Amino acid sequence: MAKDSRRSAHVVCRAVAKSRKQMRSAAEVHLWSMSDDDVTDTLSEAAKLRAQAEALELRLAAEADRRHAGERVGATDTAAWWATETRQTRPAAKHRMRLAESLDRHSPTATAFAEGDVSVDHARVITECLDGLPTDLDDPTIPLRAEQHLLAEARHRDPKALRILAKHVLTVVAPEIGEARDAKALEAEERLARETAWLTMSPDGRGSVVGKFKIPELNGAMLKKTLLAFAAPKHQAATQDRAAAEPMERRPSPERMGDAFCELLERLPTASIPKLGGLNATVVITMDIASLTGGLAPGVLDDGSTISAATARRLACEAGLIPAVLGTQSELLDLGRTTRLLSGSQRRALNLTQPTCTAEGCDWPAHLCHAHHDQPWSSGGATDLVNARKLCPRHHARIHDPAYETTHLPGGKVAFHRRT
């Protein structure tokens, strides 16, 4: 059975038990009888009460850690024990334990938190800022002045605005050294953000691709502004059938932003995108003329996936068409000896006929491969499709390596063998 804290001699135990009892009583009372002023004033006081309760909980967590509460029950640490005991996730408990430890080092913030003057989010911003200050400051009063400044600002700023201000706190409290140090710290933060940027994408098997990314704030702001322009009601009204379009929302929903992202990708100027495998990074769609003019057969992308004929026709209305039918007069497919490098037309044709590296057992996609002359151009070989093959960078280097010999296989593949 749980211990009855109301009968404990310690004032903290009795205060917690009494507060819980009073809160249970208040939760059962109907609020309709409160005046408007009572509701608004008590709502603000309840926020302070919540902060005070969280401050006490973190103080108790720090004390439990000092007493090695987790070790007594065989847990890996106090945070793991605390997570199990209170049904928190372990990452959340560890995050809160770090805050509890930091509050022990910054008593003004801990006091303001305990009095309900700042929220737990404000306290986290302030302590993280103070813990991140340089350790080689000549003036030992700077950390305290920074803490007092942030506490004063926290009384009329939300945590997000306070975090922005905290990045430049040295410039405010110690301008003689802060401006240079803040600039250096900002440059380091931007450099780290760019170095640690990442993006993942994977098909969900139902016609969509699911992705996540992490990019610097500048690039995030650029992307958001661009998507907002595409998602803006004026743009939507100008590009959609007014009769068929749904009423425009004042604030774009996630779905509208997703639609804007798709439109952005479809409208990227291919001429300004770096080349990939000697070609502009353009997706090639292969389909027969009957489907293009009204049939139902799907179009095939250069990675093997398919799109509906209707989608292909929609794209064809806005994009230049590149025939994927070899031998037409629309594009020159054979250049003979007039040039050494394959043209963009030839590379596109080669990508379609050789969708992967032509080395046996290699599935490197064609758009990442090099174009290779079977009979070297320097030895009289023509820059024609019949003399060209796709090889990934590794196999392209190997085919020129005298330590290997090649065997041409039926179907157009080549096999490599080390010379003996």
**Is residue 329 predicted with pLDDT exceeding 50?**
no
In which residue are the tokens 């940027």 written?
197
In which residue are the tokens 């991140």 written?
132
**Is residue 322 predicted with pLDDT exceeding 60?**
no
Residue 274 included in any domain: no
More confident residue, 228 or 322: 228
| Model confidence pLDDT, tens digit, residues 368-407 | 788 888 887 656 677 777 788 888 888 888 887 778 888 8
DSSP H helical ranges for 253-308 = 254-266, 289-292
Residue 160 included in any domain: yes
| Model confidence pLDDT, tens digit, residues 179-195 | 888 788 878 888 999 99
DSSP state of 356: B
DSSP state of 359: B
Identify the domain boundary among 177, 193, 209.
193
Evaluated on CA atoms 9, 13, 16, 17, the torsion sign reads negative
> What pLDDT is attached to residue 127?
96
Residue 103 included in any domain: yes
Around Cβ 99, how many Cβ atoms within 10 Å? 19
Segment (H or E) for 285: strand 285-286
pTM: 0.56
Tokens encoding 229: 């322009």
Distance in angstroms between the alpha carbons of the first and the last residue of the chain: 81
3-state secondary structure 71-95: HHCCCCCHHHHHHHHHCCCHHHHHH
Residue 211 included in any domain: no
The answer to whether residues 125 and 166 touch, using CB atoms and an 8 Å cutoff, is yes
Evaluated on CA atoms 144, 148, 151, 157, the torsion sign reads negative
Question: pLDDT tier at 53 (50, 70, 90 boundaries)?
Answer: very high
Tokens encoding 158: 């939300």
Residue 156 included in any domain: yes
Identify the domain boundary among 162, 193, 224.
193
Mean pLDDT calculated for residue range 235-253: 55
| Residue ranges making up the domain that contains 375 | 344-418
Mean pLDDT calculated for residue range 50-60: 94
> What pLDDT is attached to residue 292?
64
**Is residue 340 predicted with pLDDT exceeding 60?**
no
Question: pLDDT tier at 1 (50, 70, 90 boundaries)?
Answer: very low
In which residue are the tokens 């090695």 written?
68
**Is residue 61 predicted with pLDDT exceeding 90?**
yes
Nearest to 42 by CA among 34, 33, 32, 53: 34
Residue 206 included in any domain: no
More confident residue, 38 or 367: 38
Mean pLDDT calculated for residue range 113-142: 91
Tokens encoding 41: 């004033």
Residue 291 included in any domain: no
Residue 408 included in any domain: yes
Task: Tell me how far apart the alpha carbons of residues 174 and 66 are, in angstroms, rounded to a whole number.
Answer: 35
Task: Tell me how far apart the alpha carbons of residues 182 and 52 are, in angstroms, rounded to a whole number.
Answer: 33
Mean pLDDT of the chain: 81
Task: Tell me how far apart the alpha carbons of residues 172 and 125 are, in angstroms, rounded to a whole number.
Answer: 17
> What pLDDT is attached to residue 314?
61
| Model confidence pLDDT, tens digit, residues 143-168 | 999 999 999 999 999 999 999 899 88
- Domain count along the chain: 2
Identify the domain boundary among 193, 208, 223.
193
